[in-house]
Structure 1
Amino acid sequence: MTKKPPVVALVVYSNFSPFHFAVPYLVFSAQTADGPLFDLKIVSSGGRQMAAERALTMQPDGGLELADGADILVVPGWDDLDARPEPELVDAMARAHARGAHVVGLCYGAYALAYAGLLDGRRASTHWMAEKDFGKRFPRIRLDMNALYVDEDKLITSAGTGAGLDCCLYLVREYFGARIANKVARTLVIPPHREGGQAQFIEQPMAASTQDAQLNRLLDHLRANLDQAHSIDELAARTAMSRRTFTRHFSKATGMTVVDWLVNERLQRSRDLLETTALSVDRIAGLAGFQTPTSFRQHFKKRFHVSPRDWRRTFGEKAAARQG
């Protein structure tokens, strides 16, 4: 007797994002020679037709009662971060989790799970742009802002839009193994597994100028000479301060220690060089001011969770690869 495919309940809601909906729709609609991998059902509260952000309406297969037989319940994004899910959806998610189904919040869909109380005391992920807001609203949730997706007790949350694909492919691997997941990934022309996390995609702000003109001149000097070694005593003398006064003054003005500020600026410089030149990693380490290539790789990996080489492969310009 042929085993029935796992049932996926894909939730649509008012003003849903077509892209966020399309990600799980594509993955969980995957076909093999033996038929569909999953039994995909589109559901909404009350079985109502739902309008997307623009020029699209969705007629679901039925109401949230269809989710009661689902192995996977997916909330693809969330339109209004201030809006709590309807009680009917909260109950559907709670029942799904209680019976051992996977409950998934893709990107801002983590808000739906968080409002329902399912993530309290657990680790979760969401888009990096929502880090402060999510943390303020849900202090009992341990937010992992590097993970592309988090699975804790079958409660799965993911980072931004692209990470939704990673998350859905993870579920394909869970149910059918790596071979089938790789096959689905090839069909979608995406990697079956990405290295690193969303730390590599978060905008890293440049260290701001301060209100101190003298210190700003020093910061400009340091930025122009990142490839050189700088001691605290030398910098204190340059500003005509004692070592203790200078370190206190620098920390108050920039919010960082001198060492942390230099590492931050050197990582920024190295990212720019990796993205826009074909210089070797060892050469970039020197130009950015790291004492050794090993030190550079260690700092880079710690900050961005990928190697400099992987960063270049992801973000480097094609023109840079043809230089030299």
Structure 2
Amino acid sequence: MHTVAILALDDVVPFDLAAPMQVFDWTRLPDGRSPYRVRLCAESPEVRTDGLVLRVDRGLDALEDADTIIVPGRSEENGPPSDGVLAALRQAAAAGTRIASVCVGAFVLAEAGLLDGLRATTHWMAAAELARRHPRIEVQPDVLYVDNGQILTSAGAAAGLDMCLHMIRRDLGSAVAAHAARMCVVPLEREGGQAQFIVHEHPPVPRGSDLEPVLEWIEDHLADEVTLGAMAARSGMSERTFSRRFREQTGTTPLQWLLRARVRRAQYLLENSDHTVERIAQQAGFGSPTAFRERFRRVVGTTPYAYRSAFHGKPAAPANRA
């Protein structure tokens, strides 16, 4: 039997804690047997969470013989996790234990050094902060979850459920995972694959950054051809210096920032206008409808037509199908 240890820290997010416990506990093999043993563990016997106090009867030693460890999200008001928690996670990782985080639980894995040199995700609102604090992590804010093999991270709480179903499918196959999804009344795979729907905010940049003028210029010229050389020249830096400083301050590259800015412009137009996909491709600077469809799907995880159908105030015309 595969043992799953859910690590509860003070101010743990209740849904982040409950979702993995439920999905693994409800998983059944075709003969009705339960393939997972779920354990809730913590550093101390009592864990505070959102006005509640949880009684936990297993300590950090429960991580030693776990096959999978799940670290739910938590409020950061209490500061970083203790040295004991970080040491237990490092020891488990060194032993080959599979370790996954839900939402901002990625910060705990990052503090333990388990995400260095890896791709990772977290809630989109915290992605820039994760990249700022831990520059050795390749933060991907626009996916539901990232599977590096031994180490996995997920975006928001619902994405944590997607990640758990993905692990069940890896362990036991699609049929068992599909049954677990039905028990939780969720789809095995959400439309959009592994991408979050990005909200209408500018890609993150620290306040008062010396990049703000060039970023404002980019936003004003999304419909034009914007090259790395043009961005660097606008900032008065060499391309190499501009790229390095840009990544240090935003956690991403200039061209990735530009792509996401264009996607955000396209999302706004898909939601708030009746413009054709062809016109939106031009307004957002994608060059051609084909390039627009391909890049939009790669970033958002669904087609422009499907996105408009889900978020537009009224049904999209069939002629706009992408």
Provide structure 2 residue ranges, at least 5 long, that are not aligned to the other structure.
204-211, 236-241, 243-255
Distance 1:146 1:287, change over 3 A: closer
| SS class of match (2:127) | helix
Following superposition, the deviation at residue 117 of structure 1 comes to: 1.6
In 1, distance between residues paired with 2:292 and 2:27?
45
2:34 to 33, 36, 41: 36
Query: Alpha-carbon deviations, 1:213-250, whole Å to 9, x = none?
Result: xx99xx6xx99xx8xxx899xxxxxxxxxxxxxx89x9
In 1, distance between residues paired with 2:139 and 2:176?
30
**Could you tell me which residue of structure 1 aligns to residue 72 of structure 2?**
76
Task: Give the TM-score of the pair, scaled to structure 2.
Answer: 0.72
**Could you tell me which residue of structure 2 aligns to residue 201 of structure 1?**
198
Distance 1:322 1:123, change over 3 A: closer
In 1, distance between residues paired with 2:15 and 2:103?
11
Distance 1:277 1:57, change over 3 A: same
Query: Residues 66-215 of structure 1: matches in 2 within 5 Å?
Result: 66-80=62-76, 83-194=79-190, 195-198=192-195, 200-205=197-202
Whether 2:315 is the aligned partner of 1:320: answer yes
1:277–1:323 Cα contact (<8 Å) kept: no
Distance 1:83 1:274, change over 3 A: same
In 2, distance between residues paired with 1:116 and 1:270?
38
1:8–1:40 Cα contact (<8 Å) kept: yes
Higher relative contact order (CA 8 A, sep 6+): 2
In 2, distance between residues paired with 1:120 and 1:300?
29
Query: What RMSD in Å do the two structures reach over aligned CA positions?
Result: 4.0
In 2, distance between residues paired with 1:302 and 1:153?
22
In 2, distance between residues paired with 1:115 and 1:262?
30
1:277–1:321 Cα contact (<8 Å) kept: no
**Could you tell me which residue of structure 1 aligns to residue 239 of structure 2?**
none
In 1, distance between residues paired with 2:259 and 2:115?
35
1:277–1:320 Cα contact (<8 Å) kept: no
In 1, distance between residues paired with 2:37 and 2:104?
24
Provide structure 1 residue ranges, at least 5 long, that are not aligned to the other structure.
233-246
In 2, distance between residues paired with 1:197 and 1:31?
22
AA paired with 2:302? V
Query: Alpha-carbon deviations, 1:139-182, whole Å to 9, x = none?
Result: 22222223322222401111122211111111111211111111
Q: Greater shift after overlay, 66-75 or 140-149? A: 140-149
Distance 1:295 1:123, change over 3 A: closer
